[in-house]
Structure 1
Amino acid sequence: MGRSTVVTIISEVCEAIWQELGGIYLSVPQKHEWKRIASDFNTMWTFPNCIGAVDGKHITISCPPNSGSLFYNYKGSYSIVLLATCDANYTFTTVDIGAYGSQSDGGVLWHSGFGQRLLSGNLDLPEDDFLPGTCIKFPYFVVGDAAFPLKNCILRPYPGSHLPPDREIFNKRLSRARRVIENAFGILCARWRVLISPLFMHPKTAEKVVKATVILHNFVKFYDGSFCPPDFVDQYNGEEIINGLWRKEVSMPLRNHGRMTCNNATRSAFALRDQLKDYIMSHPI
């Protein structure tokens, strides 16, 4: 077949996968599903009221013609951004694909449909609920790294080094929950290896390919337990982190903050983080 024919086939097949399976295997959770996800995060990662981990991954592409610096990222390559959230079991729950590589993760979140609904309170999250074993009502939230803003619905680590012990412990507990999305990206790339190398195609076609891999990730994971065996992802032995096997196949930094965003956090957001920190201190693993 000619090259243009193959390109057309790939584009049409990826688009069909997204259209046919997207509404089934990647639909925005409803209120009762958010509560189930939060329960899983508390059971598996001892982080209550968390409805997901959010992060952005740069998908390297060839330099698009006449694009200037729009797709040029801080790593010195050209890319589109896959912004995603996942549940406690490495299943993607929301994705936004195709943002310019020059944007920060926080900026991509701000302009994404998911981010706008989250920040405006239109995501149909459950009402504030009690932290387990207490009479303290606390909102539901997502966790992210330092590239994301601190909001009532987004918790990020305390900044800086040489932190007081209570803040250090909180950051470690948050990191356990946040690393779920890093592992989800690792599984995605290890199983759909087209994402490991640069995609030499137009950004719109690359976007379709990435969408198809995300849907297939959720689809295969749902039906095939061998897709993600326990030793394939990071494990914890007390404070020791045992790296998952996907890290031998995919080179990915343990912590990739990208460009920092401005943090116009409200007093209530700081207070909520402190409140959860105090709860974490009173409920050790």
Structure 2
Amino acid sequence: MTRICVAGGTGQVGREVVRRAVAGGHAVAAVSRHPPPAGDAGHHDGAEYFRGDVSTGEGLAAALAGAGVVIDCLEARSGKALRNFADGGARLLAAAQDAGVARAVVLSIINSDRSSFGYYRTRAAKEQAYERSGLETIAVRATQFHSLLAGIFAAGSPLGIIPVLKGARFQPISPSDVAAALLETALAAPSGVRHRVRTVGGPEIAEMGELALDWKQASGSRGRPVRLPVPGAMGKYLRAGLNLAPEERHGTETFRVWLAKNADSL
């Protein structure tokens, strides 16, 4: 079995990659700045947890030792972490190359290179760092997570509304289905291509208003759906349908199924 290093192994996608890899009989090294202790809900028995930081390189060599593949599920949402996101990826790749890792897989966002939205540009920059590396690399671009939509809908609760972006359709996907795609990609036979991109979308495409009604029913919210304009780069991205991949439907967990599974936390 392959030894797999999962960077960001405690995030919403990373911890699911770790769980699936351990269940598949693989040796797993999970890297995080704050590894969970044994017995914690985020700790999977059978995996080794390493304290590591891609912003400094600390701990990466130990975590990558003996690994055949690294899966990068690291997250960054704002501030310094977001500004240094691509540099952290390059640092991880350099450590992987020094450790003799053969392949690196990175989680990214669908059509991140076709948007001028700052958050997406950091993802595109990280993909470029992977493309420049000396390893065989694959960027797995996913459509938006179910949890993102749920978060948008919930954000209006204090005002008694459910925000719905005008003209927006979504093809949301579960972190579990994305983790399955990442692991499948990491363990596939060599393609002979040094860098490539794979896109994975959710099983269904729906208008945001329809998804809002599903969330309202599942959450018990009394909010009223309100349609709001989306200006700027994100509005342009959504109106062009760049967040959709109709030909790349993966997994079986629809938004409704995900809502039912997570009803207690909505």
Q: Could you tell me the TM-score, scaled by structure 2's length?
A: 0.28
Higher relative contact order (CA 8 A, sep 6+): 1
Q: Could you tell me the TM-score, scaled by structure 1's length?
A: 0.26
Higher helix share: 1
